[in-house]
Structure 1
Amino acid sequence: MPPRPDHLPLARIAIYLTFFVCGFILAAWVSRIPAIKQSLGLNTGELGLVLLGAPVGLVLAMPLTGWLIAHWGSRPVLTFASLSNCFSLPLLALAPSGWTLALALFVFGFTNAAMDISMNAQAVETEKRYARPIMSSFHALFSLGGLVGAALGGAAAAAGMEPLPFFTWMTAVSVLLMLWAIRYLIQVRPAPSGPRFVWPRGVLLGLGLIVFCTGLGEGAVADWSAVFMKQVVGSSEAVAALAFSAFSVAMVLGRLTGDALTHRFGPVALARGGGLFAAAGFVTTLLATRPEVAMLGFVMIGLGYCTLFPLAFSAAGRVPGVEPGVALASVATLGYLGFLVGPPVIGLIAHATSLRVSFALVAGLAVVIALLAELLRPRTG
């Protein structure tokens, strides 16, 4: 049975915590990659191959998670996936070799993707019951969890704490938060019939292209902003490292205000403006000759991208005739594909031409987002 109306605020808080934990756990791992690379004696090429374990698990988890949500509902899937993701974190520090780390990363990526899809399905259902835009605030908590996890990881590294005890503490905190949160998740009845997985087509394909372009752009900033600042703008290494931090803070602040902006202007206008603003941010960065101007460009990019994932996921969860979990898995697969393939493709293009050309192409994809924004118009069926 669905929870009583007075339980809805608790369900919303529970899903906030779930988004926070998802970003928290992911950032904990990313922040300690250098330490684990050193402890296993991996060179850069070997590490690149090992890191493929996570995206392979992620891509395989997407369609399966959509099928499980349609069959069992998002609450049990999220319960299992979230706890599994928390407990898989210490495995990354226990791996004795590169190939065992790749296997552990497969499990970590698989459970993280399952958690991501099922928590977004819960968020879509909660937004429907509130009957007003609240999706952006959930994604703000994911970004906030990432910032907190990364900050704690940096502090642990500075203090000389080994990855295993750090991961153990992060797991303990995350499990405690999730044990409270899963008590208040919304119970959604599984679909009695219908497809358990759909290839993106029609509206879903368009929404998938929006999240693909967004994911590619976010991946470009995550992996190449510091390099761009140092090599192209000529900033110091310390200042270059602040570029992604400025982008991330802009993402958090933008998502905290995203729901109010969606309510005021509507999803179509907000996505169109976001795509164009992100493109303007890339242009500002490309034309910059001073680090502070380039930093402003990365802030603009973060403010432009911040609401696009929430808007697209919210729209996918409301596509008529397709179960929300199935639709989210279909769209998210393209989004994560963009995030994963974007950085290496940008590197290849930069090697053949220049990093400025690569960033200019990403700016063009941000304009494509603006052109596809009409697909976010609410539909009924």
Structure 2
Amino acid sequence: MTSATPPGPSTTPAILRRYRLAISLMFGIAGMTIGTWTARIPAIQHNIKMADGKLSICLLVLAVGGLLGMRAAGRFIDRHGSTTVLVLPSLTLGGALLFAGHAPTWTMLAAALLTFGVLHGTLNVSMNAAAVSCQTAYGRPIMTSFHALFSIGGVAGALLSAACAHIGLTVADAFAAVAVASTATAGWAIHRLTPAPTSNAKVQESTATAAPGRRRPRARILLLGMLAFSALISEGAAADWASTYLTRLGATPALAAIAYAAFAASMTLGRLIGDRLTAAIAPAALLRGCGLIAGGGLALGLIGGTPITAIVGFASLGAGLSCVVPLIYSTAGNLDPARPGAALSAVAALGYLGYVTGPAIIGGAATHISLGNALLILPALATLLVVAAPVVHHSRGRHHRPTNARRHKTPLPAATDDMTRPTRQIRTPEFTTNHLDHPVTDLEGALR
């Protein structure tokens, strides 16, 4: 790879924007593929003639695959860099989805979902690690916008599946269309995303030269994981139980469907404006406010006991949770510059565990108490966000607002994920800015 002349002030923002777009597309791919799969679960169960028990096994296998992929991703990211790690899963995720669409038996479906889960989990952690690095290079909060693309991708995948079903296409045909689209998009994005690879020697050198006595902040990682677990329990429970709860309140099927739509729409809208909120409000205060909106809004909606108040409650839950996971992941990715992948993968895995177990936790509680009372568990969990909010507070010293990358008059640091090198950190109320020692030419050469 040849070295290029350092870009001037006018070209550096363009390089960063291109890098950011590529990462955003990865989030869209992850959301679209999982949304496509979720929307066609009933059709796949009917086609294979699976009993509910076998479908539960397949869904459990998918969850296990996701957890395995997330945990493995952390080690690979710290060794090779996040954008190197995400190449394989982004290119093959569509193929695994297509395999699931063609599975003739439930055992073959389970094998396909195990593969899909591992790839999706690996992509999830690696794209979030790349997003943290991109945010670092920008010098201002942009993490929430990436997660907005994940939400938009999920809605797009579900709508595409519904459209394919409406015109009579089979599940396999719909999955094939998504597989082609996701693979082509990933291929286009990779050429604009992959930075120069990091050698093992450089990783070892950076670890050796890190601050003496520095250790992984295990207690903070565990607390962040608990916050992610609590938040994603609510996401999973809302997806599976919101419409059912409204039905039990006497709502029509059309009105009941609005409950989850309101949740998803408010979450997406919250993420679209989340970066501005993160820039304007200290992270601890923002997380505390998110917890109050999510928990308080849902509690009032459930206590109201009518379909309309419940819809408003689920909308409040989505709005409140919109910025929570991006805040938590940003904090985790900056906890230990020498090992960003390890911290992020641990937190993401705990969050994902909450997402897949949330529906079962609420369902199990509903067998002993009413569904409405069981859903009150979610506001109770939201109080943890309020109480433990200082865990995302990185401020030491005076308030400093992140600088907008577009206003820089000097070349910015490269948006690479080689965060294992020694860094000089400026801690701000918004997030930790790591001024990497790479010139931006590394990224420009890689993008070429």
Scaled by the length of structure 2, what TM-score is found?
A: 0.81
- After alignment, is 330-339 or 355-364 more displaced? 355-364
Report the CA distance shift for 1:306/1:94 in structure 2 as closer, same or farther (over 3 A): same
Q: Give the match for residue 141 of structure 2.
A: 133
Q: Give the match for residue 166 of structure 2.
A: 158
Q: Give the match for residue 80 of structure 2.
A: 72
The equivalent position to 1:256 in structure 2, one of 272, 279, 282, is: 272
Q: Give the match for residue 26 of structure 1.
A: 34
The structure with more helix, counted as a fraction of residues: 1
2:367 partner amino acid:
H
The equivalent position to 1:309 in structure 2, one of 325, 344, 352, is: 325
1:192 partner amino acid:
V
CA contact (8 A) 1:18 1:119 kept: yes
Q: Alpha-carbon deviations, 1:251-277, whole Å to 9, x = none?
A: 110000000001111211111000111
- Report the Cα distance in structure 2 between the residues aligned to 1:123 and 1:321, rounded to whole angstroms: 14
Q: Find the residue that maps to 1:86 and give its secondary structure.
A: helix
Q: Give the match for residue 193 of structure 2.
A: 185
Q: Offset at 1:178?
A: 1.0
- Report the Cα distance in structure 2 between the residues aligned to 1:31 and 1:266, rounded to whole angstroms: 37
The equivalent position to 1:44 in structure 2, one of 36, 49, 52, is: 52
Q: Offset at 1:199?
A: 9.1
Q: Alpha-carbon deviations, 1:125-180, whole Å to 9, x = none?
A: 00000111000000000000011111111111122210111111111111111111
Q: Give the match for residue 348 of structure 2.
A: 332
1:326 partner amino acid:
A
Q: Is the counterpart of residue 219 in structure 1 residue 236 in structure 2?
A: yes
Q: Find the residue that maps to 1:353 and give its secondary structure.
A: coil
1:248 partner amino acid:
A
Q: Is the counterpart of residue 83 in structure 1 residue 91 in structure 2?
A: yes
- Report the Cα distance in structure 1 between the residues aligned to 2:316 and 2:383, rounded to whole angstroms: 14
- Report the Cα distance in structure 1 between the residues aligned to 2:241 and 2:380, rounded to whole angstroms: 17
- Report the Cα distance in structure 1 between the residues aligned to 2:313 and 2:58, rounded to whole angstroms: 33
Runs (4+) off by over 6 Å: 1-4
Q: Give the match for residue 279 of structure 1.
A: 295
- After alignment, is 38-47 or 116-125 more displaced? 38-47
Larger Cα Rg: Structure 1 or Structure 2? 2
1:189 partner amino acid:
T
- Report the Cα distance in structure 1 between the residues aligned to 2:33 and 2:110, rounded to whole angstroms: 17
Q: Offset at 1:200?
A: 8.0
Q: Is the counterpart of residue 111 in structure 1 residue 119 in structure 2?
A: yes
1:118 partner amino acid:
S
Q: Give the match for residue 142 of structure 1.
A: 150
The equivalent position to 1:210 in structure 2, one of 207, 227, 238, is: 227
Q: Offset at 1:49?
A: 1.5
CA contact (8 A) 1:122 1:186 kept: no
Q: Find the residue that maps to 2:336 and give its secondary structure.
A: coil
The equivalent position to 1:98 in structure 2, one of 95, 100, 106, is: 106
- After alignment, is 95-104 or 315-324 more displaced? 315-324
Q: Offset at 1:45?
A: 2.0
Q: Give the match for residue 417 of structure 2.
A: none
1:298 partner amino acid:
F
CA contact (8 A) 1:283 1:363 kept: yes
Identity %: 37
The equivalent position to 2:128 in structure 1, one of 102, 120, 136, is: 120
Report the CA distance shift for 1:90/1:200 in structure 2 as closer, same or farther (over 3 A): farther
1:369 partner amino acid:
L
- After alignment, is 210-219 or 313-322 more displaced? 313-322
Q: Give the match for residue 438 of structure 2.
A: none
CA contact (8 A) 2:84 2:194 kept: no
Q: Give the match for residue 295 of structure 1.
A: 311
- Report the Cα distance in structure 1 between the residues aligned to 2:194 and 2:139, rounded to whole angstroms: 15
1:222 partner amino acid:
A
Q: Find the residue that maps to 1:147 and give its secondary structure.
A: helix
- Report the Cα distance in structure 2 between the residues aligned to 1:112 and 1:62, rounded to whole angstroms: 8
CA contact (8 A) 1:199 1:330 kept: no
- Report the Cα distance in structure 1 between the residues aligned to 2:217 and 2:266, rounded to whole angstroms: 30
- Report the Cα distance in structure 1 between the residues aligned to 2:318 and 2:347, rounded to whole angstroms: 21
- Report the Cα distance in structure 2 between the residues aligned to 1:71 and 1:86, rounded to whole angstroms: 26
2:70 partner amino acid:
M
Report the CA distance shift for 1:212/1:199 in structure 2 as closer, same or farther (over 3 A): farther
- Report the Cα distance in structure 2 between the residues aligned to 1:330 and 1:29, rounded to whole angstroms: 25
Q: Alpha-carbon deviations, 1:293-352, whole Å to 9, x = none?
A: 211111100000000000000000110355221111010011001111111111111101
1:27 partner amino acid:
G
Q: Is the counterpart of residue 235 in structure 1 residue 251 in structure 2?
A: yes
Q: Offset at 1:53?
A: 1.4
**Count of aligned positions:** 378
Q: Is the counterpart of residue 201 in structure 1 residue 209 in structure 2?
A: no
Q: Alpha-carbon deviations, 1:178-235, whole Å to 9, x = none?
A: 111111115273661359xx9983111111111000010111101111111111x221
Stretches of structure 1 lacking an aligned partner (at least 5 in a row): none
- Report the Cα distance in structure 2 between the residues aligned to 1:142 and 1:200, rounded to whole angstroms: 28
- Report the Cα distance in structure 2 between the residues aligned to 1:228 and 1:322, rounded to whole angstroms: 46
CA contact (8 A) 1:350 1:358 kept: yes
- Report the Cα distance in structure 2 between the residues aligned to 1:72 and 1:338, rounded to whole angstroms: 28
